[in-house]
Amino acid sequence: MKIKFQGTHKADEVVDSLTAILRLFEEQYGVGEFSQIKLHVALINDKGEEVELIDSNTSEVFDVLEVHKNLDEVDEQYLNGEVLQEMPAGTIH
């Protein structure tokens, strides 16, 4: 199943909408577990520009964030912004 969000959304709007959708699946259809979740997002900065996150150690685009069942397993240096920097989308680095 694909869930598509049309247009630009603020982070809290996405969280609220996705929470409501998943809650509906569980409450109305008895579907309470999910696997193979894939989320593709275009990152938009506060100026309305599409941006990419660049690993400042390797200068490579950081385009995959793996989330495991235990969020503590996600690399904290990335979540805290210690390694990533914002660059305009399509920038040659």
Q: Tell me the C-alpha distance between 73 and 26, whole Å.
A: 26
What's the whole-number average pLDDT of the chain?
80
- Per-residue pLDDT of 22-67, as tens digits, reads 999 999 999 999 988 888 889 998 899 999 888 878 888 888 877 7
With a CB cutoff of 8 Å and minimum separation 6, the contacts of 59 are 93
- Per-residue pLDDT of 1-15, as tens digits, reads 889 999 999 999 999
The two structure tokens encoding residue 84: 């990533």
